[in-house]
Chain A
Amino acid sequence: MAKIIVVTSGKGGVGKTTTTAALGAALAQAGQNVCVVDFDVGLRNLDLIMGAERRVVYDLINVVQGDAKLNQALIRDKRLDTLALLPASQTRDKEALTDEGVARVIGELREKFDWVICDSPAGIERGATLAMRHADIAVVVANPEVSSVRDSDRIIGLLDSKTERAKNGEHLEKHLILTRYDPGRAERGEMLKIEDVLEILSIPLLAVVPESEEVLKASNLGSPVTLNAPHSAPARAYIDAVRRLKGETVEMIVPSDKRSILGKLFPRRAA
């Protein structure tokens, strides 16, 4: 029986898809059987980040509507044979997702895998609430910035009211992954500090992913950052996050890349 994880944030562009791909790949690298599911119907991205965009035949909508079998739609990763992708449809809209259809597909995935990671669309509408509905664990992605933190807070409120677990009075694990964090800028007061974010959101911290060019590089190559640059700071942050998800106790550190002299002379800008 798989654990269902939803990666959600409310706000767009904070790193949900990157996080989904990185967590999925890191879990698979650790030998787990993983499926990543793109719930962002109409604006699919996960296939690109996973480098599978040219292998999509059937998608989540086809499976939900019964036009294709789950096995026909699942795309096995070429690098990690325990990693699979269920892509979203780019041409349909979220209305095509029915409650019953999604429940059935999630049920089937639950039988097949150890972990199912659902990449939620941004926003708080139907697509987002459907992605979170069957989750056992929620990973809330936030940037150290007020609007992102407030939107995450909104999403946590929805997680506590709209998920099946919340409705049944069961516990839904919620974790925070803080992405695009820059310790220097936080120190100078240019972005929120980790403590500030945790104080506002009051959920446990799963990882702090530093701002890094490795993330963009990996995205453009169509490879999760934990596969593409496993020793980079963001990859180490995600690998630690996965160990924590699996129940290990790992000391919380903010990984950093050693900067070259050139890097110090020409500080990186936030992409």
Chain B
Amino acid sequence: MALGNNSSTAVTSISLTRPSLPLRGRSFRALVLAPETPLGDWFSHLDALVQRSPTLFSERAVILDVSGLAKDSPRGDHSPLGGLSLRRDLADPEAAEPAEDDTPAAAAAPDIAGLVDELKQRGIRIVGVEKAEPAWLGPALPPLLSGGRPAEMAPPEAKAAPEPVKPPEPRKPNSLVLERPLRSGQSVYHPEGDVTVMGSVASGAEILAGGSIHVYGALRGRAIAGAGGNPRARICCRKFEPELIGIDGLFRTADTTDPKLRKKAVQVWLEGETLRIAVLD
């Protein structure tokens, strides 16, 4: 585009650079969905799975393996639920309808478009279709993929299980106690847990804590609690003269704090999106 004025050089340069256009390979681990008949049962299994682990398919490449549908598809009737869901889909996209009627060969093809739409409604986007006849796929459908190799992957059921277990993971007590005053220019970064200072925090010193900050002297420097996203963290100090305070990304400088609180014993906490400061006792 930049060479638009001089088209001849632009052309030559393109013809020269073309061969060296970088094509890079990158492999992603894809999840393969292999629907089975009856489709109704299969979808209800899928729904249950997604309910258990809602993020299972997010940011994942999902491949549709239709080999399980090919042989059963013509006799789809024996699964009334599956037939129902398929028929409902068929009513919507007009384009899919003639495929069913036209030729016996096409009639044998499973309704991949319907399946893809059904999955899309569940928030699952199919990036490619595997083990399908090329004739089954229209231009609007995901491309046919081949050459996939099986990869080690925990079965979705097993994957779904640990996720609800995660939150009650036992929290290790990980607090830091400083016996000496924190001098100007000194900085304490304690990403997990509380920081307790037995002395004062000088002007020009700073504490960053993942948890709460307790200062049993004067707080004259900077105190940032809940760093890394902990809105329940607090700052408590015996004498409140800070340069800056912050909890979970919300900050306040000395200028914007109530002068009546200065030199008082104070606690700071987060209420919704506001920093609250109140005198202790």
User: Taking CB as reference atom, which chain B residue is nearest A149?
Assistant: B203
Of the listed stretches A152-160, A184-192, A207-215, A263-271, chain B binds A152-160
| Cβ–Cβ contact A154 & B183, under 8 A | yes
Q: How far is the CA of A241 from the CA of B181 in the complex (A)?
A: 25
| Cβ–Cβ contact A200 & B183, under 8 A | no
Partner of B183, one of A146, A156, A199: A156
Is A90 in contact with chain B by the CB < 8 A criterion? no
Is A151 in contact with chain B by the CB < 8 A criterion? yes
Partner of B204, one of A150, A160, A199, A202: A150
The 0/1 profile, CB within 8 Å of A marked 1, for residues 175-209 of chain B is: 00000111111100000000000011011110000
Q: Which of chain B's residues have a CB closer than 8 A to the CB of A156?
A: 183
Known A150-B184, A151-B184; judge A200-B199 contact (CB<8 A): no
| Cβ–Cβ contact A202 & B185, under 8 A | no
Q: How far is the CA of A157 from the CA of B186 in the complex (A)?
A: 7
| Cβ–Cβ contact A153 & B180, under 8 A | no
| Cβ–Cβ contact A154 & B180, under 8 A | no
| Cβ–Cβ contact B180 & A200, under 8 A | no
Is B220 in contact with chain A by the CB < 8 A criterion? yes
The 0/1 profile, CB within 8 Å of B marked 1, for residues 142-174 of chain A is: 000010001101101110100000000000000
| Cβ–Cβ contact B184 & A202, under 8 A | no
| Cβ–Cβ contact A160 & B180, under 8 A | yes
Partner of A150, one of B186, B199, B203: B203
The 0/1 profile, CB within 8 Å of A marked 1, for residues 35-79 of chain B is: 000000000000000000000000000000000000000000000
Known A150-B204, A200-B220; judge A157-B199 contact (CB<8 A): no
Q: Which of chain A's residues have a CB closer than 8 A to the CB of B200?
A: 200, 202
Q: How far is the CA of A150 from the CA of B185 in the complex (A)?
A: 9
Q: Which of chain B's residues have a CB closer than 8 A to the CB of A200?
A: 200, 202-203, 218, 220
Known A150-B184, A156-B183, A157-B185; judge A202-B203 contact (CB<8 A): no
- Chain B interface category by residue count: 10 to 19
Shortest Cβ gap from A102 to chain B (Å): 23
Q: Which of chain B's residues have a CB closer than 8 A to the CB of A153?
A: 183-185, 202-204
Q: How far is the CA of A154 from the CA of B182 in the complex (A)?
A: 9
| Cβ–Cβ contact A202 & B186, under 8 A | no
User: Taking CB as reference atom, which chain B residue is nearest A157?
Assistant: B183
Shortest Cβ gap from A219 to chain B (Å): 29
Q: Which of chain A's residues have a CB closer than 8 A to the CB of B203?
A: 146, 150, 153, 200
Shortest Cβ gap from A212 to chain B (Å): 29
The 0/1 profile, CB within 8 Å of B marked 1, for residues 214-239 of chain A is: 00000000000000000000000000
- Most chain A C-beta atoms within 10 Å of own C-beta, residue among B181, B183, B218: B183
Q: How far is the CA of A79 from the CA of B184 in the complex (A)?
A: 41
Known A153-B204, A154-B204; judge A160-B183 contact (CB<8 A): yes
Q: Which of chain B's residues have a CB closer than 8 A to the CB of A158?
A: 185
Shortest Cβ gap from A126 to chain B (Å): 16
Q: Which of chain B's residues have a CB closer than 8 A to the CB of A124?
A: 185
Q: How far is the CA of A243 from the CA of B51 in the complex (A)?
A: 80
Shortest Cβ gap from B189 to chain A (Å): 16
- Most chain B C-beta atoms within 10 Å of own C-beta, residue among A124, A151, A156, A157: A157
User: Taking CB as reference atom, which chain A residue is nearest B182?
Assistant: A157
Q: Which of chain A's residues have a CB closer than 8 A to the CB of B199?
A: 202
User: Taking CB as reference atom, which chain A residue is nearest B217?
Assistant: A202
Q: How far is the CA of A200 from the CA of B200 in the complex (A)?
A: 8
Q: Which of chain A's residues have a CB closer than 8 A to the CB of B182?
A: 157
Q: How far is the CA of A176 from the CA of B203 in the complex (A)?
A: 18
Shortest Cβ gap from A158 to chain B (Å): 8
Q: Which of chain B's residues have a CB closer than 8 A to the CB of A160?
A: 180, 183
The 0/1 profile, CB within 8 Å of A marked 1, for residues 10-36 of chain B is: 000000000000000000000000000
Shortest Cβ gap from A165 to chain B (Å): 15
Q: How far is the CA of A154 from the CA of B186 in the complex (A)?
A: 8
User: Taking CB as reference atom, which chain A residue is nearest B203?
Assistant: A150
User: Taking CB as reference atom, which chain B residue is nearest A203?
Assistant: B181
User: Taking CB as reference atom, which chain A residue is nearest B183?
Assistant: A157
User: Taking CB as reference atom, which chain A residue is nearest B185?
Assistant: A154
Shortest Cβ gap from B49 to chain A (Å): 56
Q: How far is the CA of A150 from the CA of B220 in the complex (A)?
A: 11
Q: How far is the CA of A200 from the CA of B184 in the complex (A)?
A: 10
State the B residues within 8 Å of A (CB): 180-186, 199-200, 202-205, 218, 220
**Could you pull out 20 A-B pairs where Cβ atoms are within 8 angstroms?**
A124-B185, A146-B203, A150-B202, A150-B203, A150-B204, A151-B184, A153-B183, A153-B184, A153-B202, A153-B203, A153-B204, A154-B185, A156-B183, A157-B185, A157-B186, A158-B185, A160-B183, A200-B200, A200-B202, A202-B181
State the A residues within 8 Å of B (CB): 124, 146, 150-151, 153-154, 156-158, 160, 199-200, 202
Q: Which 6 A-B pairs have the closest CB atoms?
A: A157-B183, A153-B184, A154-B184, A154-B185, A153-B202, A157-B186
